[in-house]
Structure 1
Amino acid sequence: MGIQDIIEGKKQWRAHVARVKALPQDYQIVYKEMQKYLFKVGPIDLPDGPLLPGIVDFFEEGAAAGKGVLELVGTDVAAFCDDLVKDSPTYADVYQDSLSGKPGAAGK
């Protein structure tokens, strides 16, 4: 990863954060809680993948339609997040694979 990649990554992240800040306050609160939860659950492609920008797209559409954020995600935000990443490999999966000695495991 070169310096240009780092700079471009920071530009993209700042643009992402600006989109989040443009959301209504209740959407921002739920987004930040979802983000914290997803960083703890740890889908491998979270930092570079389409999940976080996709959530912002979804929230922007909901806000434009005049819906409340809980109408979109429900009252159990963690369950909503779990559904989003249920088929995604997580760092916990990689760790479990490395402990079980499965092929392709980290720690070869």
Structure 2
Amino acid sequence: MGIQDIIEGKRRWRAHTARVRALPPDYRIVYTEIQRYLFKVGPVGLPDGPLLPGIVDFFEEGVAAGTGVRELLGDDVAAFCDDLIKDSRTHADVYQESAGGRPGTAGT
């Protein structure tokens, strides 16, 4: 990864955070919680992938339609996040594979 890649990555991330800051407060709070959750359990390559910008797109559409954030996601934000990443390879999967087990097995 060269210096230009790093600079471009920072530029994209700053543009992304500017879009998040432009959301209404309730959407911004929920987005922050989603981001925190996904960074803990989320897929490999999350910061560079399309998932977080896609969530902001989804939220911007909800704002434009006048829909509340709870109407978009429901009451269980973690379940919403889990549905988003259910088919993605997560850091837990990578760790499990490096430990010699298959994902989803506990030492069997």
TM-score normalised to structure 1 length: 0.91
Check the 8 A contact 2:43/2:85 in 1, yes or no. yes
Post-superposition offset of 1:98: 1.1
Aligned twin of 2:12: 12
Partner AA of 1:31 in structure 2: Y
> Over aligned residue pairs, what C-alpha RMSD do you find?
1.1
Aligned twin of 2:25: 25
Aligned twin of 2:40: 40
Aligned twin of 2:83: 83
Aligned twin of 1:63: 63
Aligned length: 102
Distance in 2 (alpha carbons) for counterparts of 1:83 and 1:70:
16
Unaligned runs of 5+ in 2: 103-108
1:18-54 CA distances to partner (integer Å, 9 max, x unpaired)? 0001111100000000000000003102111100000
Aligned twin of 2:106: none
Partner AA of 1:55 in structure 2: I
Post-superposition offset of 1:64: 0.3
Distance in 2 (alpha carbons) for counterparts of 1:45 and 1:88:
10
Partner AA of 2:15 in structure 1: A
TM-score normalised to structure 2 length: 0.91
Partner AA of 2:32 in structure 1: K
Question: Where do residues 91-102 of structure 1 align in structure 2 (5 Å cutoff)?
Answer: 91-100=91-100
Unaligned runs of 5+ in 1: 103-108
